[in-house]
Amino acid sequence: MRVALVSEHANPLVSPGAPEAGGQNVHVAALAGGLVRLGAEVTVYTRRTGTTSPASVRLGSGGTVEFVDAGPARHVPRDDLLPHMRAFSAGLASRWAARPPDVVHAHFWMSGVASIAAARQLTIPVVQTFHALGTVKRRFQPHLPGLGERVSAEARLATDVAAIVATSRAELRELSSLGARPRLSRVIPCGVDTEVFQPAGPVEVRRRPRLLTVSRLVERKGVGDAVRALAALPGAELVVAGGESGRDPGIAVLRALADRLGVADRVEFRGPVRHSDLATLLRSADVFVAVPWYEPFGIAPLEAMACGVPVVASAVGGLVETVADGRCGLLVAPRDPAALARAVVRLLDDPRLRRDLAEAGRARAVRHYRWDQIAHRTATLYQRVVSQPLAATSQSDLSAGP
């Protein structure tokens, strides 16, 4: 099977923590590798962001990344990319006309818009993963520009595509509330490489009890709440991985907050950490903290679980499903630094609880979230989409994951 993965802003070759890079980059790269191991021929299409980029690059995990000219050949914030999607779609159409894939899997809403337009004349089925929804973003950040257009586009996509892959039940419910009735839906979560992310392996040396968070440094990710919680945790340190060292405006904001709270000497900003080095850092943490205001899924907490690190996370979105509260981590209300501090104190004061949660988290990651499982379930959906005429696919065919 020839599979086209479309990820307009999230280049799978870019490490998480760089501008606009996060879980989607990891997801697309790992899914491509998993599909290749199942025998698929996989090409990832992403927007060209550098003048010296070759036409295509091999992914280390398997598959090929092809760069499509659309707008300036430099980084453009994702919120400014929509005007360039017509050119991106035209680039996809010309490549697919020459050698059409059997199925297209679009990642993020703008990829879906471009893919539907490119695939329509060629009658190639399109599968959609949103990774985040405008309706949720509008609930928490209502003044962001362009959300109305995004929400409308997502609602259209949800009925135009051949199938939807939601990463959580919460996302599927959100889509249903929009009135979306996709022909075929599956809940297939993001995955984790349980061979790379495991309890055994090098551990970074630390001097005191350590909290760790790995995140893009935007306000909604809640890293500021982790800094605020640190004020109630004397003796502990917080390591923040993500952003750009010395240049990220998010680091400046968080550093100023740490200064005001008197905890600047216990907060370390690492900047971007290569994905290959992340397990060593994760294993050094006593507690992994992930407290966004909202989160469609959240791959970093899953990687921490796979490394045997207990997680304290916001009770939002996909985190409610991934981090089983009281069994492999603790859930707290978002935007509540006091509740976060209490949960961390509970773990730091109880080594046995930390060990029990860590062991259960590792077991849960292995049981439900290995990339070979995720790739197999995704490939099974592709086969169903390709083998059945679009009109014959049931609108009520819903299936949930773990």
Q: Which one is the CATH code of 210-368: 3.40.50.970, 3.10.20.740, 3.40.50.2000, 3.30.70.20?
A: 3.40.50.2000
Summarised one tens digit per residue, pLDDT across range 264-301 is: 999 999 988 888 899 999 999 999 999 999 998 889 99
Considering only residues 244 and 94, tell me which one the structure prediction assigns the higher pLDDT: 94
Percent of the chain with pLDDT over 90: 72
CB 122: neighbour CB atoms within 10 A? Answer: 13
Contacts of 297 (CB under 8 A, 6+ apart): 23, 131, 167, 168, 171, 189, 190, 317, 318, 319, 322
Mean residue pLDDT across the chain:
91
Predicted pLDDT of residue 393: 40
CA distances from 161 to 119, 391, 393, 398 (A): 10, 11, 11, 15
Written as six digits, the tokens of 290 are: 């992930």
State pLDDT tens for residues 108-125. 999 999 999 999 989 999
Flag whether pLDDT at 201 surpasses 90.
yes
Q: Average the pLDDT over each of 16-20, 257-261, 302-306, 345-349 and give the range with the smallest value.
A: 16-20
Confidence of residue 392 (pLDDT cuts 50, 70, 90): very low
Strand partners, 331: 313
- Dump pLDDT digits (tens) for 172-194: 888 888 776 666 889 999 999 99
Q: pLDDT exceeding 70 applies to what percent of the chain?
A: 93
Domains 2-191+370-392 and 210-368 share a fold: yes
Cα-Cα end-to-end distance for the chain: 27
Identify the pLDDT of residue 379.
98
Instruction: Check the CA dihedral 388-391-397-400 and report its sign.
Output: positive
Q: What pLDDT is stored for residue 143 in this prediction?
A: 81
Beta bridge partners of 164: 128, 185
**How far is it, in rounded angstroms, from Cα 33 to Cα 152?**
33
311-314 sheet: strands from edge to edge: 267-271, 237-241, 210-214, 287-290, 311-314, 329-332
Residue 388: how many other CB atoms lie within 10 Å = 15
The SS3 of residue 14 is coil
DSSP string of 361-373, one letter each residue: HHHHHHHH-BHHH
pLDDT, tens only, 371-386: 999 999 999 999 999 9
Q: Residue ranges of the domains in the chain?
A: 2-191+370-392, 210-368
| pLDDT score recorded for residue 141 | 80
Rounded Cα gap, residues 269 and 324, in angstroms: 29
Work out the average pLDDT over 11-24. 71
For residue 20, the 8-state DSSP code is: T
| Residue linked to tokens 């471009």 | 114
Q: What is the dihedral of CA 273, 275, 280, 286, to 10 degrees?
A: 70
297 vs 317: CA distance, rounded Å: 6
For residues 158, 160, 164, 169, the Cα torsion angle rounded to the nearest 10 degrees is 20
pLDDT band of residue 397 (cuts 50, 70, 90) is very low
Over residues 79-107, the pLDDT tens digits come to 899 999 999 999 999 999 999 999 999 99
Confidence band for 14, pLDDT divided at 50, 70 and 90: confident
In this predicted structure, which of 175-189, 194-208, 253-267 has the lowest mean pLDDT?
A: 175-189
Which amino acid makes up residue 204? Answer: E
Amino acid residing at 280: T
Give the pLDDT band (50/70/90) at residue 245.
low
CATH class name, domain 2-191+370-392: alpha beta
